[in-house]
A and B are shown apart, each in its own frame.
Chain A
Amino acid sequence: MNFILEGLQRALHLIFTFDREVWVIVLLSLKVSMTAIVFASALAIPVGFWLAIQEFWGKHFIIAVINTLLALPTVVVGLLIYSLISRRGPLGILGLLFTPWAMIIGQFVLAVPIIIALTYSAVQGIDKRVRNTALTLGANNYQTALTMIKEARYAVFAAVVTGFGRVIAEVGAAMILGGNIKGSTRIMTTAIALETSKGEFGFALALGLILLLVAFGVNILLHYFQSKKVYIE
């Protein structure tokens, strides 16, 4: 029991003294996950939007596949990308393995289906009159699409934030692809796993608390966006 209290004490000490090592890890975590989310959003928001407004043969199948990918185990993603970017893999020449970019790719793959699925339902959820209203006011196709996304903005932000919440907390892919190299690819989740097994309980707990705080912030944001979704009759 004592070691928990001691650990907590040490954790708070590390946080409030702005321990350099802790903050290097936290900042790298945020940087990797944010970069992954920016790229994932750039791809997934248009795809989700397009799926929502377009009717074509096989659409339901694609939606089912994307929904399945939501439950993709992170270690499997890590494994698949590992096979592509390891030295012997087809993209081995790029030398990406055990760099932050490898982790970004892993998190990107994890986030894309989430953002697609949630953008899809966000756009499906907007009022059917939005499209015609934009068109009758003279919008071209591009402006109409933009208007629809704008009307769904809170739900789309929520999709992005949910994606971020998933990737910042994942450990499997980052461990396999980043390798948990100190000062280079060590992020919060991988560090927690390592430090705990090393017995550095206080250090792990400090990172755990910060990670919880990030998760809490993400949820506050989500809640805010969800409360903003106002339907106008």
Chain B
Amino acid sequence: MLDKIIEIKDMQKSYHRKMILDIDYLNFREGGIYSLVGPNGSGKTTLLNILNLLLKPDRGKIFYFNQEVNWALPDKLLELRRQMTLVEQIPYLFNTTVWNNLAFGLRIRKVSPQVRQERINRVLNLVGLSDFQHRKVNQLSGGEIKRVAIARALVLEPKILFLDEPTASIDQRYIDITEKIIKRINQQLKTTVLITTHDLSQAYRLSQEVISLVGGKIVREVPENIFRGEIIEDYKGKWLEIDKKVKFALVTEKEGFAHIYIDPRDIILSLKPFQSSARNTFFGKIVKITEQNHLVKLEVDIGVLMVTVITRESFQDMQLNLGSKIYLTFKASAVKLY
């Protein structure tokens, strides 16, 4: 197991007597990518601000590199803060050139001018803004501002990188690039990354662990089988179309694009199709088997990956193996809007 880089114990924060954050325990391991998901106002940004030591929690302890944060020692806080950085959801760029923005943190860290220039060139290249060095920031578009802000964070080569909604308000093309960059710096520099996102599929694409925050509390069971698709309607009812091949019957009043999840325990496995009232039946192949205590988790490829959970007994009775072909059946009401 990798070392714990951040650990939170019994932390609480409230504003105007309203509890914003209430976390019993949470840890992040060195070199991991973590996603923080949750509705607006669930405390994601507050948590990021606390983890960046910008905001002091009302109570509780935070550990970095297994050392407890001492809020009374500004020098220690500064030293810690210089090992991480945060890119805010709507980042602020200093009213000067792109180059000066990138050089800001390097100057503070007394990085030599030569190394400074090398690093700035490299990250601007990485975010696709090589020609923007001398551009004034008031000439940039919203998406470019965001990429400059990401570059300004990366140039510091932090041990921990916090990104608040890094891909909100940027073009699809750069969403892919940004995701690649996040993965690359995580692999090359072993940077621990924590991002907040509204896009659940992004969270799953990027990170080993998805932490769900609801009303300031960590929701342990992050739902699996999260899909995004468009709700369509035909004579047989409403469907969520994931792609051309896969669509789920569901019950909803909503229209347009939506995230849904299906509880793995709501899915019935069978070797043959069977007659039932359930409107969703798919045929697929088992691609992964994991044992969890007395349960077995199966990942089944039905055009998209579905996770199902069955008891060890059922698993043995059905004589399932990797590559076994099985039917998945679940009710339209098991398809829940996220």
Query: Which positions in A face B, CB cutoff 8 Å?
Result: 127, 129-130, 132-141, 143, 147, 150-151, 230, 232-233
Contacts and interface: CB of A to CB of B under 8 A. Distances in A.
A133 B90 CA distance: 11
Interface of B: 49, 52, 54, 74, 78, 81-82, 85-86, 88, 90-95, 104-105, 108-109, 137-138, 142, 145, 152, 156
B20 to A, nearest CB: 17
6 shortest interchain CB distances as A-B pairs: A129-B92, A137-B105, A138-B82, A136-B86, A133-B92, A230-B138
Contacts of A230: 95, 138
A137 B108 contact: yes
A78 to B, nearest CB: 40
B296 to A, nearest CB: 44
Contacts of B142: 233
A133 B88 CA distance: 8
A140 B92 contact: no
Given A137-B152, A139-B108, A151 B52 contact: no
23 contacts: A129-B90, A132-B49, A132-B54, A132-B86, A133-B91, A135-B52, A136-B88, A137-B104, A137-B156, A138-B78, A138-B81, A138-B85, A138-B156, A139-B108, A141-B74, A143-B108, A147-B94, A230-B95, A232-B92, A232-B93, A232-B137, A232-B138, A232-B145
Contacts, number: 62
Contacts of A134: 104
B81 A136 contact: yes
A60 to B, nearest CB: 21
B102 to A, nearest CB: 10
A139 B94 CA distance: 14
A138 B86 contact: no
A14 B65 CA distance: 76
A135 B88 CA distance: 12
A189 to B, nearest CB: 37
B105 to A, nearest CB: 4
B54 A138 contact: no
B313 to A, nearest CB: 52
A151 to B, nearest CB: 6
Contact of B95 (A137, A141, A232): A232
B78 A133 contact: no
A141 B74 CA distance: 9
B90 A233 contact: yes
Contacts of A232: 92-93, 95, 137-138, 145
B108 A138 contact: yes
